[in-house]
Structure 1
Amino acid sequence: MDTHESHIPLIISVDDHTVEPAGVWQDRLPKKHLDAAPRIVRAPLKEMSFLGGRFKPVMGAPGDEGPVGDWWIYEDLRRPLTRLDTAVGYSRDEIRLEVITYEQMRPGSYDVERRLADMDVNHVQSAVCFPTFPRFCGQTFTEAGDRELALLCVRAYNDWMVEEWCGPAAGGRLIPLTLIPLWDAELAAQEVRRNAERGVRAVAFSEIPPHLGLPSVHTDAWDPFLAACAETGTVVAMHIGSSSRMPSTSADAPPAVGSTITFANCCFSMVDWLMSGKFEQFPGLKVMYAEGQIGWIPYILERADVVWEENRGWGGVADKVHRPPSETFPGHVYGCFFDDAFGLRNLDSIGVGNVLYETDYPHSDSTWPKSREVAEAQMGHLAPDVVERIVRGNAIDLLGLTADGLWRGPK
């Protein structure tokens, strides 16, 4: 572990990512499902685009010309590993939308021992990791045709996450984040409770479920799931893009447009939750927004309060939202950031207890291996106790970690 004296305590990152090893599902599912279960093949790329927030890769046939990469095959899905999945170790100018193989990525992307080593050089003690192939909240399995197999895939991923990725070799430094079968709230509640029994305190969810063809949080459809989360102290973690629709302005807008406004879905989602009445219905419920940054939060709270005060008579919320949204926010909503100097200058308007830090390893936006230096540059004006809460203390409280910042492991 890096022991360099620093204004920044050892970081607990609440938004990193794992690139799943090829055997996650092949090693865990019944033999009868293996031909249909997710598996890796090596194949050429025919064409690939990422415009208007839509990622469209086309796999070539064996023998075709084109760059060769490793592809996940699952039902009709053909999804390649790309440089954007794992960009750390490359200069910004070298990071392009291209297919890659496992051998062409940094081993810390998928190997526990190498991940811990990369965390050491980045002043990171512990990390929560979102998925790659399942997508940020398991949309891949939600879109599948065979729901029986999809449920087995969700459970297999969770078993791998808890038992291997966050298993004994991680020494409590990798904090589990599990998936649910989004298509069935009762099954989702069962999965939350199954994982809570083995010490899991975070579950992935979509920031805007209707974009996935699912009910909104304004209905009672999610109540079994939300009740399970509230009762077990499981935080609902929503990553940008977990609605499978990244913000954009047009079908031909370049990725730079969407990258600039990635926070927008988090913004819309937070308003949904604050106006849904779910925090009143489930007082123990907590949600967090991964990679959404925090600078936008003060104005949205201000605007939500104005609407609640002036328009609630006809705004459809008077019977379920009983106090100004800004008063509900502190006990229920957490913003996560890795590069937001503006938000840090306005911390008093957000709340020190509602801000979490992240490094986004191994994505192209990651601050690895200079997360400490970035934090020092942006937090140098803050008191040490405030910095401690942002980079680790709030995460310890929210995720039920030990006082030393480690996952407690299965009960």
Structure 2
Amino acid sequence: MSAMETTTALPKIISVDDHTVEPSDVWQNRLPKKYLDTGPRVVRAPLKEISFLGGRFKPVMGAPGDDGPLGDWWLYEGLQRPLTRLDTAVGYSRDEIKLEVITYEQMRPGSYDVPQRLADMDVNHVQSAVCFPTFPRFCGQTFTEAKDHELGLLCVQAYNDWMVEEWCGPDAQGRLIPLTLIPLWDAELAAAEVRRNAARGVRAVAFSEIPPHLGLPSVHSDDWDPFLAACDETGTVISMHIGSSSRMPSTSADAPPAVGSTITFANCCFSMVDWLMSGKFERFPNLKVMYAEGQIGWIPYILERADVVWEENRGWGGVADKVHRPPSELFTEHVHGCFFDDAFGLKNLDAIGVGNVLYETDYPHSDSTWPKSREVGEAQMGHLDADVVERIVRGNAIDLLGLTPDGLWGGPK
């Protein structure tokens, strides 16, 4: 009998890529009073116009009394960022999911409320989940782009305190796994924040897939070494979500969102080659990275090509003095791909590596397989042995993130 012929075969899922929509008071409750009028806060206002073309999201807030749909907007310094249906789409049919502003009352409560999130996880056969931010964006770009970095650092620390103490606090029962941010503009401050959070049990930190798109140094430079050393020493996994470079893949300024949505893996592809050819995995042998929402079907060819380039072209390719082993070997030891719907990748698992694949559900985004992540997993993993399914769905995440044998976060150490 196939390992997946029964409907109960899929183990409880540990999703390494879900999302939280921050409650409106996260920063208002934690920042010094002098920053409350400039720090992140929420107002309700009409939408004047909105577009999402060429990978660029451009909303314009109307003035009080203007016509237009009302939404809840995050304000921070000069930033005006609305909550949209794309931030939290679960519970709506695909045809109802449009680019529109919404209020907290118009989203599924599990997006921002811990008990409701656990209930939605139960519906979806999910035991535990790692959650990326919404307002800070996927790796804290919002605070990096701000003018006042003193305030930005306080905002990063406030978010991390909320993440550890409340979102992943006692009410979460160990089922929500903390993912923290760093001040991307200063690698020494970033290292200190990694160590501060590692001391309380955090084992994952968000980072940009392509830092130069944010005006930051690349991973080929030495600028990030203090941050990388802190991750290496503490066993903190560097987690990179598609779009964490603030630039979704696209082909032209007028390309519809469907183009970018089809090729979202491209940023992960470019990023992974950067890391494999950077020499960082040999300098920091305990370093681990994972790519959230990048899928996995593209990985085998890139590894094949990277090995050929390393073998045949390293003399003039600029990597002979720092990459001393085939990139595919470095991938096996250091890189994890994450997927929620990739039948092709699962059919080519031998070329990727069973230990290098993690499962996700992407709740509450429009791509999410909620509430049918179990059914999707059973359909796509039906050809795999039960022990392989166990590793993909939960075992690899337990090992990578230092969870308890039961797949839970052990809380502050």
Q: 1:12 aligns with which of 11, 14, 30?
A: 14
Letter in 2 for 1:66: G
Question: Aligned partners of 1:303, 1:5: CA distance in 2, in Å?
Answer: 39
Question: Aligned partners of 1:129, 1:274: CA distance in 2, in Å?
Answer: 26
Question: Aligned partners of 1:65, 1:35: CA distance in 2, in Å?
Answer: 26
1:42 aligns with 2:34: no
Counterpart for residue 155 of structure 1: 157
- What is the deviation of 1:5? 5.7
* 1:211-230 equivalence runs, <5 A: 211-230=213-232
Does the CA contact (< 8 Å) of 2:7 and 2:378 recur in 1? no
Q: 1:53 aligns with which of 52, 55, 77?
A: 55
Q: 2:172 aligns with which of 159, 163, 170?
A: 170
1:293 aligns with 2:295: yes
Counterpart for residue 246 of structure 2: 244
* 1:357-376 equivalence runs, <5 A: 357-376=359-378
- What is the deviation of 1:128? 0.0
Question: Aligned partners of 1:203, 1:327: CA distance in 2, in Å?
Answer: 24
- What is the deviation of 1:45? 0.1
CA offsets 1:272-314 (integer angstroms, 9 cap, x no match): 0000000000000000000000000000000000000010000
Counterpart for residue 199 of structure 1: 201
CA offsets 1:86-106 (integer angstroms, 9 cap, x no match): 000000000000000000000
- What is the deviation of 1:7? 1.3
Letter in 2 for 1:238: M
SS in structure 1 of the partner of residue 324 of structure 2: coil
Letter in 1 for 2:195: R
1:278 aligns with 2:280: yes
Which one is further off, 323-332 or 199-208?
323-332
Counterpart for residue 335 of structure 1: 337
Letter in 2 for 1:124: V
Taking structure 2 as the reference length, the TM-score comes to 0.98
Question: Aligned partners of 2:301, 2:39: CA distance in 1, in Å?
Answer: 45
Does the CA contact (< 8 Å) of 2:74 and 2:80 recur in 1? yes
Letter in 2 for 1:193: R
Counterpart for residue 399 of structure 1: 401
Counterpart for residue 128 of structure 1: 130
Question: Aligned partners of 1:188, 1:6: CA distance in 2, in Å?
Answer: 43
Counterpart for residue 106 of structure 1: 108
- What is the deviation of 1:136? 0.1
Letter in 1 for 2:357: V
Question: Aligned partners of 2:330, 2:19: CA distance in 1, in Å?
Answer: 30
- What is the deviation of 1:151? 0.2
Question: Aligned partners of 1:291, 1:6: CA distance in 2, in Å?
Answer: 25
Question: Aligned partners of 1:146, 1:137: CA distance in 2, in Å?
Answer: 18
Question: Aligned partners of 2:7, 2:394: CA distance in 1, in Å?
Answer: 17
Q: 1:253 aligns with which of 249, 255, 264?
A: 255
CA offsets 1:313-369 (integer angstroms, 9 cap, x no match): 000000000011001111100000000000000000000000000000000000000
Counterpart for residue 3 of structure 2: none
Question: Aligned partners of 1:311, 1:128: CA distance in 2, in Å?
Answer: 39
Counterpart for residue 77 of structure 1: 79
SS in structure 2 of the partner of residue 218 of structure 1: coil
Letter in 1 for 2:321: D
Question: Aligned partners of 2:156, 2:361: CA distance in 1, in Å?
Answer: 26
Letter in 2 for 1:199: G
SS in structure 1 of the partner of residue 317 of structure 2: coil
CA offsets 1:132-160 (integer angstroms, 9 cap, x no match): 00000000000000000000000000000
Q: 1:146 aligns with which of 133, 145, 148?
A: 148
Counterpart for residue 66 of structure 2: 64
Aligned length: 408
Consecutive unaligned residues of structure 2, counting only runs of 5 or more, are: 1-5
- What is the deviation of 1:6? 1.1
CA offsets 1:40-73 (integer angstroms, 9 cap, x no match): 0000000000000000000000000000000000
Give the 4+ runs in structure 1 shifted more than 6 A: none
Question: Aligned partners of 2:353, 2:137: CA distance in 1, in Å?
Answer: 30
Counterpart for residue 26 of structure 2: 24
Counterpart for residue 190 of structure 2: 188
Q: 2:306 aligns with which of 298, 304, 307?
A: 304
SS in structure 2 of the partner of residue 238 of structure 1: strand
Q: 1:322 aligns with which of 313, 321, 324?
A: 324
Taking structure 1 as the reference length, the TM-score comes to 0.99
Identity of aligned residues (%): 88
Consecutive unaligned residues of structure 1, counting only runs of 5 or more, are: none
SS in structure 2 of the partner of residue 405 of structure 1: coil
Question: Aligned partners of 1:312, 1:396: CA distance in 2, in Å?
Answer: 36
Letter in 2 for 1:11: I
Question: Aligned partners of 2:292, 2:333: CA distance in 1, in Å?
Answer: 17
